[in-house]
Amino acid sequence: MAAAVLLLTAPAFQGFSQDLLKITENSSASLTASWDGVSATVTPLAADHWQITLPVQVVISGGEGLGGDAIAEPAGEVGWNNVTTSPANTFVNVVDVVSDSPTTSAFAAVLPNNVPTPGGTLLTASGGGVPFNVQFNDLGDGPGTGTVPEGGSTALLALPAILALFAMARLRKSSIPV
């Protein structure tokens, strides 16, 4: 029985790669990536901009061969995470990631956050291509997402408490009889 089910369902999965490009944006300065569970090299180019070097050749080009993949920023934030390869419709081993972008291509394939979804084509040994999954997890780096405030804000928050301590020490000193 199990063999019959396997034989009947095999054509549905034929030609589909189970490979996964997993990308996690930790902040505007931190991104990690892996291909099938193996860490990939991530090169920061600027704030919210990275290149990922993969051990395989892929193309991520969205609809009409243009646009790449687009993942909306988490709730409460505006913008897109754009994942592309360049030039369009050419297999390469470098993937470009731009986060917090105000726009995306009208031809981009819109993917859900943190869900493995067919998002590109993997070059096969025969020279053809099969779809692979892209999973982009934006952990959020905007206001109210649990990120640590920068040092200037923290120092300003401490200032009223420090001033109150100085005032209390001065009052105490003046109330001690000599």
pLDDT digits (tens, 9 = 90+) for 45-91: 999 999 999 999 999 987 777 789 999 998 878 899 999 999 888 99
Cα 154 to Cα 172: distance, rounded to the nearest angstrom:
28
Q: What is the pLDDT of residue 18?
A: 85
Tokens coding 163: 């001033």
Tokens coding 73: 């920023």
Residue at 110: amino acid letter: V
The fraction of the chain above a pLDDT of 70, given in percent, is 68
Query: How many CB atoms are closer than 10 A to CB 129?
Result: 17
* CA distances in angstroms from 75 to 54, 80, 95, 97, 154, listed in the order given: 30, 11, 25, 20, 25
The fraction of the chain above a pLDDT of 90, given in percent, is 53
Let me know whether 62 and 124 are in one domain: yes
- For residue 165, is pLDDT > 70? no
Contact 158, 95 (CB under 8 A): no
- Report for 136-140, 163-167, 174-178: range of highest mean pLDDT: 136-140
- For residue 154, is pLDDT > 80? no
What backbone phi and psi angles, to 5 degrees, belong to 63?
A: -70, 150
Tokens coding 151: 């040092």
Is-cis flag, bond preceding 87, omega within 30? yes
Is 3 within a domain?
A: no
Let me know whether 87 and 170 are in one domain: no
Q: What is the pLDDT of residue 150?
A: 44
Let me know whether 129 and 88 are in one domain: yes
| Mean of pLDDT values over 6-25 | 64
Contact 103, 124 (CB under 8 A): no
Tokens coding 80: 């897109």
Enclosing domain of residue 161:
149-178
Is 82 within a domain?
A: yes
Cα 83 to Cα 16: distance, rounded to the nearest angstrom:
21
Cα 73 to Cα 136: distance, rounded to the nearest angstrom:
11
Lowest mean pLDDT among 19-28, 84-93, 163-172: 163-172
Q: pTM score > 0.95 for this model? A: no
Cα 104 to Cα 95: distance, rounded to the nearest angstrom:
16
Lowest mean pLDDT among 33-42, 63-72, 97-106, 136-145: 136-145
Contact 17, 130 (CB under 8 A): yes
Total of domains in the chain? 2
Let me know whether 132 and 159 are in one domain: no
Let me know whether 95 and 176 are in one domain: no
Q: What is the pLDDT of residue 147?
A: 42
Let me know whether 22 and 98 are in one domain: yes
Cα 37 to Cα 40: distance, rounded to the nearest angstrom:
9
- For residue 4, is pLDDT > 50? no
Let me know whether 54 and 129 are in one domain: yes
Q: Tell me the pLDDT band of 8, cut-offs 50, 70 and 90.
A: very low
